[in-house]
Chain A
Amino acid sequence: MVVVSLEQVYKEYKLGKTTTPALNGISLQLMEGEMIGLMGPSGSGKTTLLNLMGGIDFADRGKVFVYDRDLENMSDRQLAAFRSRTLGFIFQSFNLIPVLTAFENMEYPLVLQGIAKKERRRRVEEMLAAVGLTAVKDHRPDELSGGQRQRVAIGRALITGPKLVIADEPTGNLDQSTGKAILELMKELNEKEKTTFILATHDPMVASYMKRVLYLRDGLIVREEEG
Chain B
Amino acid sequence: MRSLSLAWRNIFRNQRRTLFTLTAIMIGIMALVLFDGFVRYTLWGLQESTIRNGLGHLQLATAEEYFTTGNFDPFRYLFTDQEAIISKLQALPEVKNVVPQVTFSATLASAEKSGIVMVQAVPVELARSLLSFRQIVEGRDLQVEDRYRVILARGVAEKIGAKIGDTMTMMAITRNGGLNAADLEVVGIATLGLRELDNMQVFMDLPTAMEFLDITSVPLLITVLERTEYTGQVKEIITQAFNGQSGQPLAVKAWDELADYYQQVQGFYGTLLQIIRFIIMLVVIFTIINTMTMSVLERTREIGALRALGTQKGAIIRLYIAEGLWIGLLGGISGVLLGLIASSLINNLFGGIYIPPPPGMAEGYQAFFASSSVTVWQNLLLALAVSVLASLYPAYKGANLKIAEALRFL
Contact = CB atoms under 8 A, between A and B. Distances in A.
Interface of A: 47-48, 51, 54, 56-57, 76-77, 80-85, 87, 89, 91, 93, 95-100, 108-109, 111-112, 156
B301 A95 contact: yes
B302 A95 contact: yes
Interface stretch (B5-13, B178-186, B242-250, B288-296): B5-13
Interface stretch (B99-107, B160-168, B304-312): B304-312
Contact of B308 (A77, A83, A96): A83
Contacts of A84: 309-311
Nearest to B315: A112
Contact of A109 (B6, B301, B309): B309
Contacts of B13: 98-99
Contacts of B311: 80, 84, 112
A66 to B, nearest CB: 14
B384 to A, nearest CB: 23
Contacts of B215: none
A91 B308 contact: yes
20 contacts: A51-B404, A54-B308, A56-B304, A56-B307, A56-B407, A81-B310, A82-B310, A84-B311, A85-B310, A89-B309, A91-B407, A95-B302, A95-B305, A96-B305, A99-B9, A100-B6, A109-B309, A112-B309, A112-B310, A156-B309
A54 B308 CA distance: 8
B313 interface: yes
B16 interface: no
A56 B404 contact: yes
Contacts of A80: 307, 310-313
B403 A56 contact: yes
Contact of A111 (B2, B302, B304): B2
A109 B404 contact: no
Contacts of A97: 302, 305-306
Nearest to B10: A99
A83 B307 CA distance: 9
A225 B384 CA distance: 61
Interface string B388-410: 00000000000000111001100
Contact of B302 (A51, A98, A112): A98
A56 B10 CA distance: 25
Most buried by B among A56, A57, A93: A56
Contacts of A77: 312-313
A95 B301 CA distance: 7
Given A57-B403, A98-B13, A108 B308 contact: no
Nearest to A166: B308
Nearest to B301: A95
A77 B310 CA distance: 9
A97 B311 CA distance: 13
A97 B9 CA distance: 11
A48 B405 CA distance: 10
Given A91-B305, A98-B13, A111-B2, A57 B404 contact: yes
A57 B402 CA distance: 8
A109 B301 CA distance: 17
The 3 A-B pairs with the shortest beta carbon distances in the complex, nearest first, are A84-B310, A57-B404, A95-B305
B313 A109 contact: no
Nearest to B8: A99
B304 A95 contact: yes
B78 to A, nearest CB: 79
A195 to B, nearest CB: 17
Contacts of A156: 309
A107 to B, nearest CB: 10
Most buried by A among B9, B308, B310: B310
Nearest to B310: A84
Contacts of A76: 313
A209 to B, nearest CB: 24
Contacts of B402: 57
A95 B407 contact: yes
Contacts of A56: 304, 307-308, 403-404, 407
Contacts of A91: 305, 308, 407
Given A77-B313, A85-B310, A98-B13, 4 more contacts: A56-B404, A57-B402, A95-B302, A112-B311
A195 B9 CA distance: 35
Given A99-B10, A99-B13, A83 B404 contact: no
Most buried by B among A87, A111, A112: A112
Contacts of B10: 99
A28 to B, nearest CB: 19
A93 B2 CA distance: 25
Contacts of B304: 56, 95
A221 B302 CA distance: 31
Interface string B231-261: 0000000000000000000000000000000
A99 to B, nearest CB: 4
Nearest to B402: A57
Contacts of B310: 80-85, 87, 109, 112
Contacts of A47: 408
Nearest to B408: A47
Interface string B9-24: 1100100000000000
Contacts of A54: 308
Interface in B307-326: 307-313
Contacts of A96: 305
A176 to B, nearest CB: 27
